[in-house]
Structures are given as C-alpha cells and as structure tokens.
Amino acid sequence: MADAIRRRLPSQQTIQQRLTSTKAWELEVEPSSLAPKGAFSNADTDPTPEEKQTWKAYTLIFYWFSDILTIQGWESMATIIKIGLTYKEAIWCTFLGDFLIAIPVVLNGHIGTRLRIPFPVQARSSFGFQAAKGVVCIRIATALFWHALQTYSGSQVMAQVITAIWPSFESLPNHIPASQDIDSKTLVAHLIFWLMQLPFVLIPPHKMTWFFYTKAVLMIATSLGIVGYLVHRAGTSGEIFDQQPTVDGSERAWLTVYMLFQTVCGWATMATNIADVSRYVKSPRHQVVQAASLPLVGLYIGVMGMITCSASKVVYGAFIWSPAELFAHWQGTHGGRAAVFFGGLSFCLAQIGINMSANIVSLSNDLSGLFPRYVNIRRGALLGTLVGGWVMVPWKISGSAPQLVTFVSALAIFLAPISAVLIADYFVVKRRAIDVPALYDPHGRYEYWKGTNWRAVTALLVAVAPNLPGLAHDVNPGLHIGGAVYICYLNYLVGFGLAAVVYVSLSIVFPARESLVPCTIHAYGDSATSGLDAEGVESQDEKEASKVQTEPEKLL
C-alpha cells in the first residue's frame, strides 16, 4: 500500500522542477488525444471511452438524490413561506420549478450521452473555439461560489458533530478578531470538514456511483428519522399547514411566479453543463429519467424540511429550518448527542455529495477544458476545492454579503441564454450533426470568425439585456425599475426563449455553412463514442456517419 502511494507521488526532482518552471506542470499528450499538432488537449477532455461509461438510469436517479438531498434542499421551501405564501404554493413552486428546469437538463444531457464530450468542448460547437472559453468562465465562477457556500454549510453541521463528541468544544476560546467574521471553533470545524471532503472530491466521476447510492440511503433514513421524532414529540405536524398567506391579489400571484422561477434558476447551472455528467451514462435513453427524478426528489426533501420546521415550533417555540440549529437543541442529553453525531454526519455527507456531483465535476471538467495543457480532472478537482474552500473565504460570503448571494443566484440570466444557444444549435441549426474531431481543432470548422460565433454571442447579449435591470434590483432592492421588475420575475423564461429565437433566426439569415455537416462524425469508429437513438438502436445519421468515419490518425 505504501509503495503504491509513493509511486503516485511526484519525485523530489519533479517537485523542484515544478517550483521553478511551468513547463514541468504540463501534462503528457495522450495517444488518443484528438487535438492536432500545435494545439493541446488531454485524455479527460476527449470523448469518454467505453470503459468509463459506467452510469445507468438508476445511477442518474441517485445522482439527483446526491445533488438535492442537502442542507439547501432541506431549507428550500423556507423562503417561499417566509415571504408570505402558503405551504401549498411552496410545494407547487418547488415541484413545477424543478420539472421545468428538468426539460433543458434532459435536452442538454442528450448531447453528452450521444457525443460523449464535456461541456467546455460542447460549447465550442455553438460559440466557437475561443468564445467558448468565456462561457466556461461563467460556469466556473458559479461553481466556485456554490462550492464555497456548500462547504461552509457543511462546516456548521460539523461543528455540532464535534460538540456531540466533546461538549467542551462549544466553549473553545476564540483567538480570531471579530473583523474576520469567523471564530476559532468554526474555523476548526471548517478545516475538519474540508479535510474530510478532500479525498471524496478527488474521486473520478466514473467511479462516484457507490457514493451516490450510500448518500441516498443515509439521507433518506436521516430525514425520515428527524421528521418522525419531531412529529411524535409535537403530537402534530404543526401550524405551518394552517397558516394563511400574508399577501393577496396580484401581489400574491406575482410572488408565486417569482418563487417558481427562483426554483428554476436554482438548477440553471446543471442545465448548462449537464454534459459533464451525462457523458458517463451508457445510453441516451437512460438520462431521460432526470425528467422525473429531479422534481420528485426536490419535492421530497423540501416537504421533509417543511414538516420538521413546522413541528419544531411546537417543540422548541420557534420555526427552525437549519439542521445545524436544530442539532444544537439536542446537545443536552447523551441520546441527543448520539442523534446529532449520526444525523450530523449524514448531513456532512450530503454537502460533500453535492460538492462532488454538482460543483467539483463541473469545475474539474471546465478547468481541464480551459487549461488542458496543465489541468486534468484530478488537478482541477484539487484546485477547485482549494480555491472554493479557502481562497474565496466562504464565511465572509455567507455571513456578510447577502447581496452577493443574490447576485450569483441571478447569474442564471447568463446561464439561461447559454443553455438555450447550446440546445437550439444542436437540435435546430445543426440537426444533431456534429463533427466531433473538429471540436478539438482551434482552426477547424468550429473556428467561425477568429474563434467566435458572433450569432451565439449576439443572442446571449440580446437575451441578457432585458434582465439587467432586475439584476441591479436584486443587488440593490432600493433601486426603482418600474415594470421591468416583472421581467425579472420571469428571468429564466425570458432569457432562454429570447436567446433561442435570436440564435436560430440569425443562423437562418446568416448561416455558418462551414460548421454544418450532413451527419455526425464521431471521434472513433467504435462503440465508445457511437450514438444510439432513444430506442437504443443505431440512428440513421449514425449509419451514414459510419461510412465517412476514418481512423483517428487520419482525422488529425
């Protein structure tokens, strides 16, 4: 075991070279790389080989359990109820919002399962080889931000777990200035949680499946246990289900619409880069299960959190949405501390799970696509968790900048048009016919004009413009923007629809003929990358493509 670890570690000479030269950090060019001479790629940005296509339909179901069964999912209905709506509207906003966002998730997911390419490579076909880098940077920014927040949320639960083992930890002396927005106890918990998370985020995506299954079982058991205990103690499910709305008329209607699309925006990130995940799925038909699993799992965890909050008012005299705050009430007895330990560990694994599946997979793929010469998936995961967990100072983001949280949530106004362009380009403009090897050539058919498809960029800018006043209002609620606020309420719908219409229209009037091919040209003429239609049989364009496919060496 020790010898195996030593073989994986860099030698002393390699470490010295990496400290003095960036050349030493360059990855070896893999024999299978599709990049032409003079360009650079690596095996992790290449189409997923058959041996790594390990995900099945049930894997994706558990993947969404991993994404959604989290602290944020537990608290998801809180905001809807706090602004004056009822539990019924919270349920409908959550379910319908998750169902609506599942549509672009499935459409973009189909591209990943059919072409086996990650999001950074997929974006090149629509935006151009160079402009795609800007699109990837937007996704990297959101992934880093959410990785930071979700890591810090896990740290707060970890503090309760440590206190359950050593009650004296609660009174640990603080030696950090108040200006840093964190105390010694929380910093220690953050370090322990980050170290606990580190080995998990370094797991390659095609080997994550066992973790998804484990987390789903533990979180379902934990959530049912918490709800059962509190409802039993309260003798009722509580008063949330009897609360009347505090708003009415058109204000209530628009608030419902607003919260519906806030739910949609919550998964705008995954709707954009789901190809990073779906490329590992065995068949395109398997990924369709996301249309049901996403809204159903979201509804389950939201309702569990809402029932717990409602019953907590009866038991503790206050509505408690936060699991960490709830666990703090259980620290007074031996049995309570045991419950905190096991329940807290489950929620810690929940936060690790979403960081693995929703943030690190995206970050590592995006960084690998952006810097293929130096970054593969493992390096991208390590770099992402270092920056997200520490450099971004997540406790400051969480504690002192609510407007920043709102701002990053509002980045959906950029992600919606990006998703729309990707989907419209693939299904409408290019009619599912892509030259995969050309996606790795900076000067190939997807170079467009100096690496930029101006049609896609124009569609993105046009779609973002109507939502900018709403973005400014979200950051500064005191800003008066008149009727433009209602466009903000429909931000994802407006951005997605407008971008799709503009992009398709421009592509019809000013077609980029050099980017069009009669049928898909896969990377290799084997089952590793050949696409299957929804019935699992070879589609007509695949049959035609097989006639023109050549050996990889000839494509270079």
Give the per-residue pLDDT at 478. 80
Assess if residue 246 is contained within a domain.
yes
Asked whether 164 and 341 are in contact (CB, 8 A), the reply is yes
Mean pLDDT on 522-532: 54
DSSP state of 390: I
pLDDT digits (tens, 9 = 90+) for 107-136: 999 999 999 999 999 999 999 999 999 999
The per-residue DSSP string of 343-378 comes to HHHHHHHHHHHHIIIIIIHHHHHHHHHHSTTT--HH
The three-state secondary structure class of 125 is helix
Whether 462 shows a pLDDT value over 50: the answer reads: yes
The dihedrals phi and psi of 370, each to the nearest 5 degrees, come to -80, -35
Assess if residue 506 is contained within a domain.
no
Assess if residue 528 is contained within a domain.
no
pTM for this model (two decimals): 0.89
Residues 6+ apart with CB under 8 A from 44: 118, 364, 365, 368, 376, 377
Report which of residues 328 and 372 the model is more confident about.
328
Look at 156-165, 218-227, 310-319, 467-476 and tell me which has the smallest mean pLDDT. Answer: 467-476
With a pLDDT cut of 70, the percent of the chain lying above it is: 87
Q: Is the dihedral of CA 77, 78, 84, 87 positive or negative?
A: positive
Give the per-residue pLDDT at 61. 94
Mean pLDDT on 253-279: 94
pLDDT digits (tens, 9 = 90+) for 512-523: 999 999 999 988
Residues 6+ apart with CB under 8 A from 402: none
- The CATH number that applies at residue 319 is 1.10.4160.10
Mean pLDDT on 15-35: 65
The dihedrals phi and psi of 392, each to the nearest 5 degrees, come to -80, 0
Whether 21 shows a pLDDT value over 80: the answer reads: no
Assess if residue 151 is contained within a domain.
yes
Whether 550 shows a pLDDT value over 60: the answer reads: no
Q: Is the dihedral of CA 119, 125, 126, 132 positive or negative?
A: positive
pLDDT digits (tens, 9 = 90+) for 405-459: 566 666 789 999 999 999 999 999 999 999 999 999 999 999 999 999 999 999 9
Give the per-residue pLDDT at 406. 65
Whether 544 shows a pLDDT value over 50: the answer reads: no
Give the per-residue pLDDT at 543. 46
Give the per-residue pLDDT at 465. 95
Give the per-residue pLDDT at 540. 43
pLDDT digits (tens, 9 = 90+) for 335-376: 999 999 999 999 999 999 999 989 999 999 999 989 988 999
pLDDT digits (tens, 9 = 90+) for 180-218: 889 999 999 999 999 999 999 999 999 999 999 999 999
pLDDT-derived band at 539 (thresholds 50, 70, 90) equals very low
Assess if residue 374 is contained within a domain.
yes
- Interatomic CA distance for residues 473 and 484, integer angstroms: 10
Asked whether 494 and 466 are in contact (CB, 8 A), the reply is yes
The per-residue DSSP string of 195-214 comes to HHHHHHHTS-GGG-HHHHHH
Assess if residue 276 is contained within a domain.
yes
Asked whether 6 and 355 are in contact (CB, 8 A), the reply is no
Report which of residues 529 and 332 the model is more confident about.
332
Beta bridge partners of 281: 55
Assess if residue 555 is contained within a domain.
no
Whether 482 shows a pLDDT value over 70: the answer reads: yes
Whether 77 shows a pLDDT value over 70: the answer reads: yes
Give the per-residue pLDDT at 407. 62
Assess if residue 181 is contained within a domain.
yes
Which residue segment(s) compose the domain that 377 sits in? 56-430
Q: How many CB atoms lie within 10 A of CB 465?
A: 12
- Interatomic CA distance for residues 286 and 258, integer angstroms: 32
Exposed/middle/buried for residue 168 (C-beta within 10 Å: 0-12, 13-18, 19+): exposed
Give the per-residue pLDDT at 398. 79
Give the per-residue pLDDT at 10. 66
Asked whether 218 and 346 are in contact (CB, 8 A), the reply is yes
Give the per-residue pLDDT at 529. 43
Whether 12 shows a pLDDT value over 90: the answer reads: no
Mean pLDDT on 469-481: 81
272-309 in b/e burial notation, b at 16+ Cβ within 10 A? bbbbbbbbbbbbbbbbbbbeebbbbbbbbbbbbbbbbb
pLDDT-derived band at 32 (thresholds 50, 70, 90) equals low
Q: How many domains does the chain have?
A: 1
pLDDT-derived band at 480 (thresholds 50, 70, 90) equals confident
Beta bridge partners of 449: 452
Q: What number of helices (H) and strands (E) belong to the chain? A: 27, 0
Whether 105 shows a pLDDT value over 80: the answer reads: yes
Whether 537 shows a pLDDT value over 50: the answer reads: no
Q: What is the mean pLDDT of the chain?
A: 88
